[in-house]
Structure 1
């Protein structure tokens, strides 16, 4: 169970613990799951769940499992929209500087969530739908986000989400992933070299000191986004990431 943070309100923190447990389990959880993971007494869990049910932040299915409620959709959309709003002008600046599609993504449970995009002016360009969730190990932004986490947290994410290999270039084991994350931390940026889609290359950097682990990227056909492009693109990405971070703190 998560320890209460300094100055936190215990009942509020416990409510969020239960919601996060449901999210980690794919959006639904039995009472036994909530009890085992939260280590809270059953009467406390029942009391908190009654509040969540009443407010529409949780629902109970006929099989007695609890699932995330519809009111969370509005909160998630509003949060994603705000995160994206802070980034859109920066992504447009990146496109102007690189002429490649720029994305921003954040950690969303055990997956990466794309929250904003600015498209390349080229006819042949990459497109990732805003609101899409993807496995973290096979995307540039996902690996840039994972590089901000410790190894135990990364292992937990992989254990829960799995490691599908969309292409022959995809990383397929957690040990190989951890080695790659060390390389990313050392050089300051990640590369998706045909790991999500063959023929596509992406460079991504972490957004420093952001409220949630986040990353920005540029991507395009590998014939155009060559490895040499990193020399000019990565400093631009890092500059943009710093400004996105500063815009949230201002």
Structure 2
């Protein structure tokens, strides 16, 4: 019985390895999929057959395998669930600091905003849930990059480059590495008009989370002063710790 249980867990683990490899590298031939996933060719052939029958993988006319649209439905449901868990932690930040609070996740080489509670001010941040941005020019992105090794950061930069969004954007790997070292030392990241002129943001990574997440507070630079940032950091740390506990199952969902 235990042997069967271990075998079932291994099969599930390998199936997810195939899905994650396809998500990371795009359409792949069977042999390339085996190489990238590190799994035996025979195992990959069996798994893509099963995943294809379930509607999660499909093969194109060029014999390359890709993720199927059915996974979009799962992703949308997952994002909505994550938002429901996050909002009770974001709302108190807005109440305390008066500015928009966001939750973002590292998704491949980009950062995607997955939850938000907007400021009550008429002039506020209008970053939309679902929006993808490059991480080097955002506080949430830098908070997440700081959790990675220098080699991983360099690999990502080689793929995406460091395009300038404003004159304040960091556009060299040397400058980005120096900034990330500051983030690691102080435990939070700041975007000072690097993504959008006149907008400031402070972010903290969600440590010990099952997902690569960061939480932020953002608003006009005229309101998000150094004094507000100083108050925001401990509030963000407390909120990220509470969210991590909820996501790990060691606490109850807030709200």
Q: How does 1:109-128 map to 2 (within 5 A)?
A: 109-128=108-127
How far is 1:220 from its partner? 0.8
Larger displacement relative to structure 2 (174-183 or 157-166): 157-166
2:20 pairs with 1:20: yes
How far is 1:116 from its partner? 0.6
Corresponding residue for 1:235? 234
Q: Tell me if the contact between 1:24 and 1:110 (Cα under 8 Å) persists in the aligned partners.
A: no
Deviations 1:99-141 (A, max 9, x none): 1110011222222121110001111110111122221112111
- Give the Cα separation in 2 of the matches to 1:21 and 1:93: 38
Deviations 1:123-182 (A, max 9, x none): 111011112222111211111111122222222333334432222222223332222111
* Over 4 Å off, 4+ runs: none
Aligned Cα root-mean-square deviation (Å)? 2.0
Normalization by structure 1: what TM-score?
Answer: 0.89
Deviations 1:65-124 (A, max 9, x none): 222111211221222222211110121111111111100112222221211100011111
- Give the Cα separation in 1 of the matches to 2:242 and 2:7: 30
- Give the Cα separation in 1 of the matches to 2:55 and 2:140: 33
- Give the Cα separation in 1 of the matches to 2:202 and 2:84: 22
Corresponding residue for 2:37? 38
Q: When the two structures are aligned, how many residues end up with a matched partner?
A: 244
Q: What secondary structure sits across from 1:179 in the alignment?
A: helix
Corresponding residue for 2:3? none
Corresponding residue for 1:47? 46
Deviations 1:6-64 (A, max 9, x none): 99833322222222222222x42333431331233333222211112111111222232
Q: What secondary structure sits across from 1:107 in the alignment?
A: strand
- Give the Cα separation in 2 of the matches to 1:157 and 1:130: 23
2:227 pairs with 1:225: no
Q: What secondary structure sits across from 1:219 in the alignment?
A: strand
Going from structure 1 to structure 2, the CA distance change for 1:183 and 1:245 (only over 3 Å counts) comes to: same
Deviations 1:173-230 (A, max 9, x none): 3332222111001111101111111111100011121111211101111122123321
Corresponding residue for 1:202? 201
- Give the Cα separation in 2 of the matches to 1:199 and 1:115: 23
Larger displacement relative to structure 2 (51-60 or 41-50): 41-50
Corresponding residue for 2:10? 10
Q: What secondary structure sits across from 1:9 in the alignment?
A: helix
Structure 1: 5+ residue stretches without partners: 1-5
Corresponding residue for 1:3? none
- Give the Cα separation in 1 of the matches to 2:48 and 2:105: 28
